[in-house]
A and B are shown apart, each in its own frame.
Chain A
Amino acid sequence: EDQVTQSPEALRLQEGESSSLNCSYTVSGLRGLFWYRQDPGKGPEFLFTLYSAGEEKEKERLKATLTKKESFLHITAPKPEDSATYLCAVQANSNDYKLSFGAGTTVTVRA
């Protein structure tokens, strides 16, 4: 069974204080690893897809990286508007549509 573990559960940052979120996964043949952002009271919003170890994707202050066992979401010089819950999910080669999600990391950025 596919497993996704995210750490830490919560992260409090000062504005401008860079940090990283971790997503460890176990899957029988990775088809893709995905990052989503979820604001309070809203549905998740897609950020990135990573397909193979060594791949990196960037969007504004966010950078996602992938190894064979984990993915990191780096937040560089965060701003208060980066406060959200960040969700990681994986999809196995053997499954056409099912994403297995982690419980998320809630990031709070103080001004």
Chain B
Amino acid sequence: ETGVTQTPRHLVMGMTNKKSLKCEQHLGHNAMYWYKQSAKKPLELMFVYSLEERVENNSVPSRFSPECPNSSHLFLHLHTLQPEDSALYLCASSQELASYTGELFFGEGSRLTVL
């Protein structure tokens, strides 16, 4: 496999459920990101990891919990979500954290629906 792979592609969960989103990059990159994309709104940066160390937590509620066990894998653990958390969650990677070209490689996203 190549690029950035996200699973599952679609997820429906109740407000009391616990689920996880998974991201894997096969590009040998050192930085990984979680973005939230809601309809007709700009992408919102949620978390940033560089060499498995979290460098950004952009005021994200604690019901979202990231995990980066190594530089190739990134998880987003979800619990007691709200309906307004329904969105497309995108994982991205870049060669280095301070990527001067601004080139991020995105996965296809996980479409989350909270009932």
- Identify the A interface with B (CB < 8 A): 4, 9, 31-32, 34, 41-46, 49, 87, 89, 91, 96-104
Contact = CB atoms under 8 A, between A and B. Distances in A.
A91 B101 CA distance: 10
B42 A32 contact: no
A41 B90 CA distance: 11
Contacts, number: 60
A101 B4 CA distance: 20
28 contacts: A4-B42, A32-B101, A41-B108, A42-B109, A43-B90, A44-B43, A44-B106, A46-B103, A46-B105, A49-B101, A49-B102, A49-B103, A87-B43, A89-B43, A91-B102, A96-B97, A96-B98, A97-B31, A97-B56, A97-B94, A97-B98, A98-B45, A98-B48, A99-B43, A99-B102, A101-B43, A102-B42, A103-B40
Contacts of B108: 41-43
